[in-house]
Amino acid sequence: MIKIKFDLNNEEVYLTPNKLNTLIVENKEYYRDLIKSLYFEYLQNDNSLFTFYKDDSILDFDSNISVIFNIFSLDLNSKKNINYLYRIIKKTYFDKLDEDINNIKQKALEIIKEISLDLNIELDMNNEIKTEDLFKMFDIKIKDNEEILLKRLINYMFVMQELQKYSIFVIIHLKEYFSDEEILDILKECAYKDIILFDIETINETSNILKENKIIIDKDCCVIK
């Protein structure tokens, strides 16, 4: 079970798979501090307002949790993602590509020799071509041309889970961007991948179709479960 422990009276709340886990923060000062804390947690792994647990073990934020502050700024080809992609390629495929790389090097050498003969100029080339050099030369990236915001978000979460093994996604104001029906579609897709969604809002809205696990921090900073 995944749970969050808040600094407010050491309150604990459990996150529910297959439901939208919604934190509603009515106290504006605490909301501001919470978002600030999340931001620095995301950058520096230093959060003082709440902690994620799996059973009784603290979850490392950087390894398990992705925070989406702005859905319009999703970046599949961030430096971190590309580094993870190359790491997976190197670990899984480089040994299998040795023969192919040698063939490419041999073909390139033949072309250089042909150019040398045509120009009557002695040419040389770097024979120490590494497999990773080939991938960098082709500038391999993650395809990122989805324009529909709903599909873009789902694809982003799937890619982040595949590359960085994130299992929890914290999204700021998910309901500002999507209808209840669209959020149901997102939850359905997340259920296939065992992804837990944690939405942070400031307004307590009632939905007749969404299955929600609501946690409210009221204006007096009391946690209501």
Tens digits of residue pLDDT in 18-72: 899 999 999 999 999 888 888 876 555 555 677 888 988 988 888 899 999 999 9
Same domain membership, residue 108 and residue 159: no
What would the DSSP string read from start to end of 144-207?
Answer: ----SHHHHHHHHHHHHHHHH---EEEEETGGGT--HHHHHHHHHHHHHTTPEEEEEESS----
pLDDT of residue 41: 63
Alpha helices in 45-127 (DSSP H): 61-64, 79-119
**Residues 148, 118 share a domain:** no
* Domain assignment of residue 168, given as a range: 2-76+142-224
CA distance 38 to 44: 10
Mean pLDDT of 183-208: 94
Number of domains forming the structure of the chain:
2
**Full-model pTM:** 0.84
Half-sphere exposure of 165 toward its Cβ, with a 13 Å CA cutoff? 8
Phi-psi region of 106 (alpha: psi -120 to 50; beta: other; left: phi over 0): alpha
Decide: helix, strand or coil at residue 33.
Answer: helix
pLDDT in tens, 151-186: 999 999 999 999 999 999 999 999 999 999 999 999
Q: Please indicate, yes or no, whether residues 154 and 217 belong to a single structural domain of this protein.
A: yes
